[in-house]
Amino acid sequence: MKILANDGISESGINALEAAGHEVMMVHVAQEQLQKYINQHEIDVLLVRSATQVREDIIDNCPSLKIIGRGGVGMDNIDVEYAKENDIHVINTPAASSASVAELVFAHLFGSVRYLHDSNRNMPLEGDSHFKDLKKNYSAGSELRGKTLGIIGFGKIGEEVAKIALGCGMKVIVSTRRTVKREITLNFFDGQTITLPIETVPMEQLLEESDFITLHVPANAGRLIGKQEISKMKKGVGIVNTSRGGVVSEDALLEGLEDGKVSFAALDVYEKEPTPSIRILMNHRISLTPHIGAATIEAQDRIGTELAAQIIDIAKTI
């Protein structure tokens, strides 16, 4: 089969596909030219990440397409059900990048409770002239150990976040659409394991009891955190969103930061991408990254091999 990896794929994925006799094309085709390119080259498989949109127009007008693959978890850039109705296989890699996103959550948490995001802005500017003042400003940090982390959404990424939190000595509470008993198994380097129960609580309880809140929900979850939800949180709460832009109201978040209800926020996703609000970008209480949750070498390698394995399996049945 001819495979167009329009947003790229790891070398390990390419090697696996080519070893199975498939042709991989590593061309990035602009959105407006994509339909024409697929038809000209009779592409069987279209692989995308978040940049490329696969909507009804492409599905309707590209009869050669047999598989659409999303490198990552969310598939809001693909009309999944419509593709399936047209007998196109739709695949993704829900587990491949979970650990990478979870580690980014904690990079933000560790940095924010010690003001590293703000210190790294100001030390180059004033470190030589106002060292003592900066030291005083950043000497009221806190520890994560012993604090309560509230996780909204408990899929693969939420589970990985919980594992790191438990390893840090935090209490973990979870709110999901379904209140069920959950357990987490921690795997250690020497082969030992330990299984711990996870407390699932109603959303309102999570808002009231959490010292830090992190969101891990699909794009269709809608807005979950607004002014009303923030009003129910502990004073000084920290909020992390590496999920989807829009699930947290940026206006409400800024208001919470300004009045002290929220001590810090950490964002990897934004309501307006790729042009986030200047008010968000310039706020010194917000730790910022440019939607890089899944962007690690290890995650991209796993994404490539998982996509390849699924394509190879499906190809046997077509």
Domains of the chain: 2-93+297-315 (3.40.50.720), 98-288 (3.40.50.720)
Decide if 298 is catalytic: no
Q: Which of the four pLDDT bands, split at 50, 70 and 90, describes residue 175? A: very high
> 284 catalytic, yes or no?
no
Q: How confident is the model at residue 179 (pLDDT cuts 50, 70, 90)?
A: low
Across residues 139-164, what is the average pLDDT? 96
- Candidates 28, 273, 279, 284; catalytic one: 273
Per-residue pLDDT, averaged over 167-190, amounts to: 90
Q: What local confidence, expressed as pLDDT, does residue 180 receive?
A: 67
Mean pLDDT of 67-77: 91
291 is catalytic: yes
Name the least confident of 17-26, 181-190, 293-302: 181-190
| Residue 71 confidence (pLDDT) | 94
Q: What pLDDT does residue 219 have? A: 74
Q: Would you state the pLDDT for residue 10?
A: 96
Q: What is the pTM of this model?
A: 0.90
- Provide mean pLDDT across the span 64-79: 93
pLDDT tier at 76, thresholds 50, 70, 90 = confident
Banded pLDDT at 53 (limits 50, 70, 90): very high
Mean pLDDT of 40-45: 98
Taking 70 as the threshold, does the pLDDT of residue 87 lie above it?
A: yes
Question: pLDDT tens, 242-286?
Answer: 999 999 999 999 999 999 999 999 999 999 999 999 999 999 999
Per-residue pLDDT, 258: 98
Spot the catalytic one: 41, 130, 182, 291. 291
Structure tokens that stand for 312 in this block: 């190879």
Pair of tokens at residue 295:
């962007």
Give the model's pLDDT for residue 178. 74
From 244, 250, 285, 302, the catalytic residue:
244
Q: Kindly state the average pLDDT of the residues 291-302.
A: 94
